[in-house]
Amino acid sequence: MAVSYKDLGLVNTKELFKKATEGKYAIPAFNFNNMEQMQAIVQACVETKSPVILQVSGGARKYANQTLLRYMAQGAVEYAKELGYNIPIVLHLDHGDTFELCQSCIEYGFSSVMIDGSHHSYEENVALTRKVVEYAHKYDVSVEGELGVLAGIEDDVVAEHHTYTQPEEVQDFVSKTGVDSLAISIGTSHGANKFKPDQCTRNAEGILIPPPLRFDILEEIEKKIPGFPIVLHGSSSVPQQYVKTINDNGGNLKDSIGIPEEELRRAAKSAVCKINIDSDGRLAMTASIRENFILHPEWFDPRQYLGPAREELKKLYAHKTVNVLGSAGKA
Ligand code: G3H
Ligand code: 13P
Ligand code: ZN
């Protein structure tokens, strides 16, 4: 039953992160749950010749099924080749919360796992992360750890405020655990409501501008662990045209504010070499489907509305690799 990711044609993150750090860009980590999202990610990354991390949360794994995911990932590799370019593809567990989940994902062909011990005490986080690293490295699987807590909702854990990563801890954490990359908290958060309007200022056009990310903390971290791969979660920009389309077509999204793309461009040029994007894909897909449901009330074949939604997703992902992360052309 157990399968190595290598037999599926996948790669771990080692080489990708090395090149991204040296080349001053970031690898996209796009979450997916279903076939259309996977197709859009692969199409966009093949067209823009970008390496990619296909990212699956514990919830997504339950939704899609572990066995199907293994074949979908293998299918993604073959699909990319069929589309004309053999891009490096990583299959990564997002926010793994237990050793057992990480172990199971590795047995089912994942090439990278995140063990998110950030809600535990420092000592417990170190011990859990170390245990996952010891197991994963036997199979040449990469491990991402996390220090600091992002505000917002993370796998049913709700944090009211950020607990920023403490630069004094990173060197100790990295050396004690042996992780391959480190997710940090510098002001991003999960979901489509990253900031409250009263935290923001308005520019001349009346657009809400959120408070800047804590690049000072990132710089301190870089000084403590030079060249070490850093990961940024909660990095959706929440494009306002999607929010408007959703709300113009019966939706009800309020106070949806994301991370300005300019800040992500800046982060991608630093030690940040993996940028996680999920919510923007959810918004693109929902906007397209809602609009088409209103425009074409007679449609009932899922291909009629999932096809355009997939096209919109592909445009979004291509935009990210070319204009935000700088990973286009690096495959
Ligand atoms: O960080 C969380 C990701 O956006 C995955 O979300 O647990 O709802 O699949 P999910
Ligand atoms: P967003 O909700 O900003 O897309 O973040 C996704 C993420 O961090 C997945 O781990
Ligand atoms: Zn995350």
Q: How far is the CA of 151 from the centre of ligand 1 (A)?
A: 14
Q: How far is the CA of 92 from the centre of ligand 1 (A)?
A: 13
Q: At what angle do helices 66-83 and 35-47 cross, to 10 degrees?
A: 30
The amino acid that residue 1 corresponds to is M
**Ligand 1 pocket test target in 33, 37, 95 with most atoms within 8 Å of CB:** 95
Q: Which helix (H) or strand (E) holds 52?
A: strand 52-57
Exposure class string for 45-77: b at 16+ Cβ within 10 A, else e? bbbbebbbbbbbbbebbeebeeeebbebbbbbb
- Provide the residue-wise pLDDT of the chain in tens; the chain has 331 residues: 699 999 999 999 999 999 999 999 999 999 999 999 999 999 999 999 999 999 999 999 999 999 999 999 999 999 999 999 999 999 999 999 999 999 999 999 999 999 999 999 999 999 999 999 999 999 999 999 999 989 876 656 667 778 999 999 999 999 999 999 999 999 999 999 999 888 899 888 888 899 999 999 999 999 999 999 999 999 999 999 999 999 999 999 999 999 999 999 999 999 999 999 999 999 999 999 999 999 999 999 999 999 999 999 999 999 999 999 999 999 9
Give the residue numbers marked as catalytic. Answer: 94
- Which residue puts its alpha carbon closest to atom 6 of ligand 1? 57
The ligand 2 atom nearest the CA atom of 233: 8
Residues 186, 207: Cα–Cα separation, whole Å: 23
Q: Please classify residue 171 by burial: count the beta carbons closer than 10 Å to its beta carbon, then call 0-12 exposed, 13-18 middle and 19+ buried.
A: middle
Task: Record the pTM.
Answer: 0.97
Both tokens assigned to 115: 């063990």
> Are the C-beta atoms of residues 233 and 150 closer than 8 Å to each other?
yes
For residue 56, give every residue at least 6 positions away whose Cβ sits within 8 Å of its Cβ, in sequence order, or none.
31, 32, 33, 64, 69, 91, 92, 93, 94, 105, 110
Say which residue the tokens 């990973």 belong to. Answer: 327
**Three-state helix/strand/coil letters over 201-212:** EECCCCCEECCC
CA distances for 309 relative to 38, 59, 234, 263, angstroms? 12, 22, 22, 27
- Which residue puts its alpha carbon closest to atom 4 of ligand 1? 278
- Which residue puts its alpha carbon closest to atom 5 of ligand 1? 57
